Structure 1
Amino acid sequence: MQLSSPRLRATLLAAASLTLVAAVLPPPTPLGIGDPLFPELGNPGYDVLSYDLSFDYKDNLSPLDAVTVIDARALERLERINLDFTHGKVASAEVNGEPARFESVAEDLVLTPARPVADNMPLHITIRHTSDPRGRGDGGWVPTADGLAMANQADAAHRVFPCNDHPADKAFFTFRITAPAGLTAVANGESVVPAVRLGPTTTWTYRTRHPMATELAQVSVGRSEVVHGTGPHGLPLRDVVPAQDRRRLDPWLKKTAGHIEWMEERVGRYPFENYGVLIARATTGFELETQTLSLFESNLFAGDGYPDWYVESVMVHELAHQWFGDSVTPRTWSDLWLNEGHATWYEALYADGLGKYSLERRMREAYQRSDQWRAAGGPPAAPKAAAPGQKIGLFRPVVYDGSALILYALRQEIGTEAFERIERRWVAENRDGIAGTADFVRLASQEAGRDLAAFLEPWLYGATTPPMPGHPEWSGKASSGKAAADGSAR
């Protein structure tokens, strides 16, 4: 048969090329970047620059039709491209405009392009797939009473969309969400075009102005009301709440501007384009610092069992993460103490300022339990890995109050003024970047005017808790009093 169509001819030639390439390459294997706690997450060989994600929502029991477009740059010659992706079906894949072979191996989606991608060359990847909200209880899509929300921390983004699922590879995000009329869709960042109504559906588009880790992505669909306000220095505030709960929740929403002002006084300007809380009718067991739009369970604000000062301090915890964990993301997951220790520190400092739970008391109680926490989960900067075949429980008390205790010890050792300089400089110099424990020790040493490695390393890596400067009377024997925070706020 004569091939009269150039496009058809090109398609058939590309398919033939893929068959020939596949015949000479070894079978695909899952890859990772070697994170000590999640060794198979992340992928070598490329740097993601941006994600463009499209989701078509029907209901919270049906897979979403989705398209993931990734722009990246090759860091080496690539005959294959590994992405993290599972719990969805792939319909097609393209690399640089040409069809690519795709195979699933463990939790990797492995693409074989029509021709190898040269070092330092652009990568434009398009994957048409489904994203399934059903049957998982360990992150990714979270069903709510009226739709869906997202909770990807630490290793669940790849259960929603193909990605390089490690915080060391941050990228810009665009979200395009289509949902039935009567529902509202929101995502990280800001709305870049007005919502478009087409027949029985509406499409919303959002884009981040700052790079973001995959674990911080947020998409919510539901019968929601979006409440707009203004924070310090004109910062846009955007809260998303169940429409039926708007009036009841309004007093809580009005507290956010004051919380931001309080944080800015201590660590400097808020680092992103906007901020708000996403309150969902869902049971997660935690709150989550998704970038610019922190996720909260509605029950936290129900007025049953939680005093107001505690709710406010949890709100400050997730807000503090926008600096510590979101703007400055961990180099490896073993550096998680920098996220949670700092967020817990400012949570505790805020509660202390309200006169409800003194910082010194909380740190003393944490000190009493610190050896137990270290024995159970490892020291703050070297968490124990999961047992073979088991999933790691990363969010342990040692990375919350056990890590805030390190910051308290540091302040005791070098004084309040030097400590506050470290905090401001840490978020300013690492804004929109990644940083780890060694970076923090080096910066702290510079601000203190002396090498702090010998002081900090036992606190960071020791099996037992060192003596607390200024408190020789503190002991590691736990009292029968109230336990410190259990880590329900991530």
Structure 2
Amino acid sequence: MPYSLRERSPRRRRFPRRRAALVVAAAALVVGAAAPPAPAPLGIGDRLFPSLGNPGYDVASYDISFDYRANDEPLDAVTRLVARSTKPLERFNLDFTHGTVASVDVDGRTAEFTSAGEDLVVTPQRKVPAGTTFTVAVHHTSDPREAAPGGWVPTADGLVMANQADAGHRVFPGSDHPSDKALFTFRVTAPKELTVVANGRPAGRRTEGAKTTWVYRTLHPMATELAQVAIGRFAVPERTGPRGLQVRDVVPAEDQKALEAWTAKTPEHLAWMEKKVGPFPFENYGVLMAQASTGFELETQTLSLFERDLFTKPAFPAWYLESIMVHELAHQWFGDSVSPRLWSDVWLNEGHATWYEALYAEEKAGKKLEDRMHAAYEQSDQWRADGGPPAAPKGPVPGKRISIFRPVVYDGGALVLYALRQRIGAPAFERLERQWVSRHRDSTAGTADFVSLAGEVSGRDQSAFLRPWLYGERTPAMPGHPDWKAARKPA
């Protein structure tokens, strides 16, 4: 217990003046040493997004309630999370911005809180011991009106989410890094004429007066960047996929007929992917076609997000649109079930999704994978100069956080996989793919894990071969194609 001046006895107060002064000084030092540093944004040290994630705890589950009125009004929300401390916590941070916090409770007791950058800093009444489970409840708003890349995306009649890479904390507080996966429950109240769909399976619906509350629950852990809540005038056609898998699609009700030709293809795509890498890793799947302008499609877990206009106003051939649907589907294995340990590992997500996109186009439309890889090889040096090597991409451009998603992690990442297949042979490569998604299912993994598994499966250490492919400034020679040349534009 720190020494308190108020606890001195009358006899001790008769110490000589010099000794008393020393005691006072020592006590002041003890008090000063105990004072915590000023609240500040924290992170887990990710090179590309240093402030994302939070040290000191791991989240086990989220239970998030939203009360939706209109897509131009803040939603009232309560985020409850259960976490386990990895060290003693006198206070801790949650990633959160673009909302107003009304109160925070920790283990049922009111806690102090303040903001620091894009973090919510929480000081509980009692220190959380290391190795214990604790609960946090944050009463807040979630504002879709803020002009920002990602988070809530307004549609013609509601909202959808697009949280990749660092926008989950624009919607709800938590640990917004893919290395901290958790189970999710969503409870969304909306006008009863609207439909709400979220990740996972339906877990209840109740209508009271003019509003309906919808509940969804995931059966597998999920990264915050993959969360999806869609609110609007939707139809939700259902069908059956391979092995009885539940397939539910979410489309604007007025476009259901026009989009049926596309949504009906999902069971076939699932069967094709399962032949390549094994059983689908989640409880259900479907595509969400939203009346929104995002500029991208997104692999939100169990419910991939697409722009409706991609299919109602097709500017691309049918084979290409199908290959893009397979790209997002492949992410359910590569990126969702097996999530990147750090954002520098994003090539494992995008390289694999691009690989199966290209392989599908080859098998279904005769678009040769080798031709696409040859074209990628010719541009690879320039991609590396512009965006860094596949496994060490350059940081995002200021103000454009999704700019880490450059060609070098898409076709450049697929090119690494092609080079590896050329080296170890197709049978070993296919075993590697299956073992990768089964060994790391519902978990996280990084580039070093992939390199290690490649050596294990092939029976030969592949680190010396893969290192320049993953981290080199220049593209190595392609096995089996000594004539391929990589060109770099003049400076």
Question: Partners in 1 of 2:348 and 2:98 — Cα distance?
Answer: 31
Residue type at the aligned position of 2:265: K
Of stretches 387-396 and 102-111 in structure 1, the one that deviates more from structure 2 is 387-396
**Counterpart pick for 1:185 among 193, 196, 205:** 196
Question: Partners in 2 of 1:248 and 1:178 — Cα distance?
Answer: 29
Task: Kindly indicate whether residue 392 of structure 2 is the aligned counterpart of residue 382 of structure 1.
Answer: yes
Give the structure-1-normalised TM-score: 0.92
Question: Partners in 1 of 2:383 and 2:72 — Cα distance?
Answer: 39
Using a 3 Å threshold, how does the CA distance of structure 1 residues 389 and 147 change in structure 2: closer, same or farther?
Answer: closer
* 1:250-289 superposed matches below 5 A: 250-289=260-299
Task: Kindly indicate whether residue 455 of structure 2 is the aligned counterpart of residue 442 of structure 1.
Answer: no
Partner of 2:103: 92
Question: Partners in 2 of 1:390 and 1:106 — Cα distance?
Answer: 18
CA offsets per residue over residues 412-442 of structure 1, 9 Å max, x none? 1110000000000000000000000000000
Question: Partners in 1 of 2:398 and 2:260 — Cα distance?
Answer: 47
Using a 3 Å threshold, how does the CA distance of structure 1 residues 391 and 318 change in structure 2: closer, same or farther?
Answer: closer
Question: Partners in 1 of 2:70 and 2:180 — Cα distance?
Answer: 31
Question: Partners in 1 of 2:176 and 2:281 — Cα distance?
Answer: 23
Question: Partners in 1 of 2:394 and 2:36 — Cα distance?
Answer: 37
Partner of 1:397: 407
Give the structure-2-normalised TM-score: 0.91
Task: Kindly indicate whether residue 248 of structure 2 is the aligned counterpart of residue 245 of structure 1.
Answer: no
* 1:46-61 superposed matches below 5 A: 46-61=57-72
Task: Kindly indicate whether residue 166 of structure 2 is the aligned counterpart of residue 155 of structure 1.
Answer: yes
Question: Partners in 2 of 1:477 and 1:309 — Cα distance?
Answer: 29
Of stretches 136-145 and 419-428 in structure 1, the one that deviates more from structure 2 is 136-145
Question: Partners in 2 of 1:355 and 1:69 — Cα distance?
Answer: 48
Task: Kindly indicate whether residue 215 of structure 2 is the aligned counterpart of residue 229 of structure 1.
Answer: no
Instruction: Give the superposition deviation at 1:477.
Output: 2.9
* 1:473-488 superposed matches below 5 A: 473-477=483-487
Partner of 1:334: 344
Question: Partners in 2 of 1:388 and 1:187 — Cα distance?
Answer: 31
Partner of 2:380: 370
Task: Kindly indicate whether residue 469 of structure 2 is the aligned counterpart of residue 462 of structure 1.
Answer: no
* 1:159-178 superposed matches below 5 A: 159-178=170-189
SS in 1 for 2:59: strand
Partner of 2:15: none
Instruction: Give the superposition deviation at 1:392.
Output: 6.1
Instruction: Give the superposition deviation at 1:405.
Output: 0.3
**Structure of greater Rg:** 2
Instruction: Give the superposition deviation at 1:233.
Output: 0.5
Runs of 5+ consecutive residues of structure 1 not aligned to the other structure: 1-19, 480-490
Instruction: Give the superposition deviation at 1:390.
Output: 7.0
Question: Partners in 1 of 2:40 and 2:409 — Cα distance?
Answer: 33
Partner of 1:43: 54
Partner of 1:346: 356
Partner of 1:417: 427
Using a 3 Å threshold, how does the CA distance of structure 1 residues 293 and 387 change in structure 2: closer, same or farther?
Answer: closer
Of stretches 389-398 and 155-164 in structure 1, the one that deviates more from structure 2 is 389-398
Residue type at the aligned position of 2:190: A
Instruction: Give the superposition deviation at 1:330.
Output: 0.3
Contact kept in structure 1, 2:165 and 2:402, CA below 8 Å: no
Question: Partners in 2 of 1:24 and 1:409 — Cα distance?
Answer: 55
Task: Kindly indicate whether residue 135 of structure 2 is the aligned counterpart of residue 138 of structure 1.
Answer: no
Question: Partners in 1 of 2:401 and 2:224 — Cα distance?
Answer: 19
Runs of 5+ consecutive residues of structure 2 not aligned to the other structure: 1-30
Instruction: Give the superposition deviation at 1:328.
Output: 0.1
SS in 1 for 2:146: coil
C-alpha RMSD over aligned residues: 1.6
Q: Determine what percentage of the aligned residue pairs are the same residue.
A: 64
Aligned length: 458
Residue type at the aligned position of 1:335: D
Contact kept in structure 2, 1:365 and 1:478, CA below 8 Å: no
Contact kept in structure 1, 2:239 and 2:248, CA below 8 Å: yes
CA offsets per residue over residues 133-173 of structure 1, 9 Å max, x none? 01223000000111000000000000000010000010000
Partner of 1:16: none
Question: Partners in 1 of 2:266 and 2:173 — Cα distance?
Answer: 33
Instruction: Give the superposition deviation at 1:388.
Output: 7.0
Instruction: Give the superposition deviation at 1:244.
Output: 0.1
Instruction: Give the superposition deviation at 1:64.
Output: 0.2
Instruction: Give the superposition deviation at 1:113.
Output: 0.3
Question: Partners in 1 of 2:68 and 2:399 — Cα distance?
Answer: 34
Question: Partners in 1 of 2:349 and 2:116 — Cα distance?
Answer: 32
Instruction: Give the superposition deviation at 1:24.
Output: 4.3
Contact kept in structure 2, 1:337 and 1:399, CA below 8 Å: yes
Residue type at the aligned position of 1:233: R
Residue type at the aligned position of 1:435: A
Contact kept in structure 2, 1:385 and 1:392, CA below 8 Å: no
Question: Partners in 1 of 2:129 and 2:392 — Cα distance?
Answer: 37
SS in 1 for 2:487: coil
Partner of 2:79: 68
Question: Partners in 2 of 1:343 and 1:322 — Cα distance?
Answer: 9
Question: Partners in 2 of 1:390 and 1:302 — Cα distance?
Answer: 29
Question: Partners in 2 of 1:177 and 1:205 — Cα distance?
Answer: 7
